[in-house]
Amino acid sequence: AHILHLSFVFVLLYCNDIFPTSTSYRAVVEIVSGDSRIFSGERLSLRCIIPDPYQASWDYLWFRGSVQLPQTGEIFQLWNANVKESGKYYCQGKKETDVGSIKTLRSLPYEIHVDGGFAILQLAKRSVLVGDALDLKCRLRGNAPVHQTILYRDGIQVMVQSGSSLNFHLPHVTLEDEGRYSCRVSWDLSRRTHSVMSVPTLVNILDNAQLGRNKMNLICHVQYNAPAPAPPVNYYFYKNNNLLGPATSLNHMHVNKASGWYSCRAKVPKLDIVRWSEPRSFGEVTGA
């Protein structure tokens, strides 16, 4: 009996030494419905993606900050969002094997802001290049008869619009357009003027000259034909199968020059369409 006990301990240590408890895959969080900024009481859905080429069966762990959440499915739902549920969300893949649990790398954070106010400033993209257009929308809780909308940058008035339009368009932006933007919406009701203002949100303006010689531009070319208004496309960029950043509406990304295998993924969430590019090598790389 004593010999059998020693043999069992030896085999257990041997197996733990051979079989790792984690993989090189990094989970990816993407938004399925809703927006990264929503009003309290609204709903939002996130999906956890495991870039496993073998398509193994995974369980899913969800986190807000460092706290693990009770949800365990591929889809994470906020049904009736509360302001306290704002934060950075992560997911992680997990599967049980004969030698124990194996986990993926935790995803990059996807930040959610639940606003308890009455106005939210939504951005088509948080970072734009000098010369590009900046599009913003001041979203209002409810259906008030809006008669004026004002856009601010760092507390200074930038644009005033009369009428019911809540959209702002700034063509050909410069570095001076960078800052924290907010909007104010006004309407008349019961012989009184009501006015609400959004929380400021940061907009970054990038200059091509700032990219420097140590940067390169990754471009994801996609053939996408859909009747107007076409659902938006989300782009993801990878190096050696590791995600380089959160989903973006831009089909290009500036990254540091480094040897490796680069690829991109395009997804139309509303149509549940996903396409991957073939990996492209840069610099001195080995393997496939």
- Dist. CA 271–CA 151, nearest whole Å: 33
> If residue 110 lies in a helix (H) or strand (E), which one and from where to where?
strand 110-115
* pTM: predicted TM-score of the whole model, two decimal places: 0.66
pLDDT at 16: 39
> Is 145:124 a contact under the CB 8 Å cutoff?
no
CATH 2.60.40.10 domain position(s) in the chain? 22-114, 117-207, 213-282
Other beta carbons within 10 angstroms of residue 276's beta carbon come to 13
What is the predicted pLDDT for the residue at 288?
A: 54
The span from the CA of 151 to the CA of 272, in Å, is 34
Query: What pLDDT is attached to residue 24?
Result: 73
Question: Could you tell me the fold of the domain covering 22-114?
Answer: Immunoglobulin-like (2.60.40)
Give the pLDDT score at 113: 93
**Bridging pattern class, strands 252-256 and 215-219:** antiparallel
| CA atoms of 243 and 236, how far apart (whole Å) | 7
Q: Domain 117-207 carries which CATH code?
A: 2.60.40.10
Quick check: 168 and 151 in contact, CB under 8 A? yes
Q: How many CB atoms lie within 10 A of CB 218?
A: 20
What is the predicted pLDDT for the residue at 125? Answer: 74
> Which residues are within 8 A (CB) of 155 and not within 5 positions of it... i.e. 6 or more apart?
182
Q: What is the pLDDT of residue 84?
A: 95
User: pLDDT value at position 134?
Assistant: 92
Query: Which class does domain 213-282 fall in?
Result: mainly beta
pLDDT tens, 190-245? 889 999 999 998 888 877 665 556 778 888 888 777 776 778 888 899 988 888 88
Distance CA 173, CA 163 (A): 24
Both tokens assigned to 58:
């995974």
Listed in sequence order, the residues at least 6 apart from 53 whose beta carbon sits closer than 8 Å to its beta carbon are none
Residues of the chain where predicted confidence (pLDDT) is lower than 50: 1-20
